A = this chain, B = another copy of it.
Amino acid sequence: MKKKLSIVDIANALNVSKTTISFILNGRAQEKRISAELVETVMKYVEEVGYKPNSLAKSLRTGKSNTIGLMVEDISNPFFASIARLIEERAYKNGYKIIYCSTDNDTQKTKELIDMFRDRHVDGYIISPPEGIEEDIESLTKDGMPVVLFDRHLPNVDTDFIEIDNLFSTYNATRHLIDQGFKNVAFVTFASNQTQMIDRVKGYQNAIEAAGLPVLIKEILFNQKEELIMNPLREFMIQNTNIDAILFGTNHIGTCGLKIMQEMGKNTPTDIAIISFDDYEVFELYSPPVTAIAQPIDEIADNVISVLLEKLDYHSASTKLKGVILKTNLKIRKSSIKASA
């Protein structure tokens, strides 16, 4: 059990050629008309000595690594962590392993990461792409690599992608706020040209304009550091004292918003009503519970991995590209309900 045995070891032990062993191990015994009893012998022996083919050698030979590269914005963000969890599970079940990394929405870092993945000969890519990565993704697909984007897509790049209906989601949430009677509804989000962000802004804007209300948008530079989110947010709040409702564009901004509210002693929903994008334990437990736009995590993960596996299977087949758009669920909780005055 100590020594790593190779296919030739077992071939020798059984006095058979390694070719035969290889065929048997790869289920091509039938096809090659290898005697059932030989198959049996080999299988038993392999089992017995615990022989495992060297997957590195196999990969080198076949060009397949049975690895999927997963690039999320930030694995420590619960949204991405949950999706990664589900994807991981499905992937392993299908004989693929996942190597992952966080892009931080940093284009340069992402480029390097893609390079590394290429280096490693991953068989397929799952990416929540940052801006400016179009060329690299294109070069990937051009070289025939299966790529599935999620959470957002790249407008001018043809790939499969899975996302949610961002525009309707924020439109709907904003409408809800308006219906409740709020007049100065702000939208706070990250400054970004990513498709999902643009749509979220649009959804808000459409609803507000349709209602003839003032558009109040605060864009914050993307950053993981909490302070750099909270500072501009605090400023915004101070400068716009008339705001009576806020829609937060991401879970991270949402929680920061909650902190600001606490810090400033604002009550929800009496002083300011709140809705956040992404559902999240903290929103459910907060008092009052925070209304949230819940993304269908399971469905997203399911679709992502299904689409990718499909491409991996019929590698050649010109399965046409798919853009899947999933529905979100507005979970209405107390934070967005107008106090019956």
Contacts and interface: CB of A to CB of B under 8 A. Distances in A.
A75 B65 contact: no
Interface stretch (A116-124, A167-175, A237-245): A116-124
Contact of A255 (B75, B76, B88, B285): B285
B52 A119 contact: yes
Nearest to A74: B85
A131 to B, nearest CB: 21
Interface stretch (A40-48, A54-62, A203-211, A312-320): A54-62
Contact of A76 (B81, B121, B282): B81
Interface in A234-288: 255, 258-259, 262, 281-282, 284-287
B282 A259 contact: no
Contacts of A98: 99-101
Contacts of A120: 55-56, 97
A332 B55 CA distance: 51
Interface size class of A (residues with CB under 8 A): 35 or more
B115 A52 contact: yes
A105 interface: no
Main secondary structure on chain A at its contact with chain B? helix
Oligomeric state, in number of copies? 2
Interface in A143-181: 143
Contacts of A55: 119-121
A20 interface: no
A3 to B, nearest CB: 10
Contact of A85 (B54, B75, B113, B284): B75
A121 B281 CA distance: 38
A85 B76 contact: yes
B52 A56 contact: no
Interface string A82-96: 101100110010000
A8 to B, nearest CB: 15
Contact of A282 (B84, B115, B281): B281
Contacts of A76: 78, 81-82, 84-85
A80 B246 CA distance: 31
Interface of A: 1-2, 52, 54-57, 59-60, 65, 67, 74-78, 81-82, 84-85, 88-89, 92, 97-102, 113, 115-116, 118-121, 139, 143, 255, 258-259, 262, 281-282, 284-287
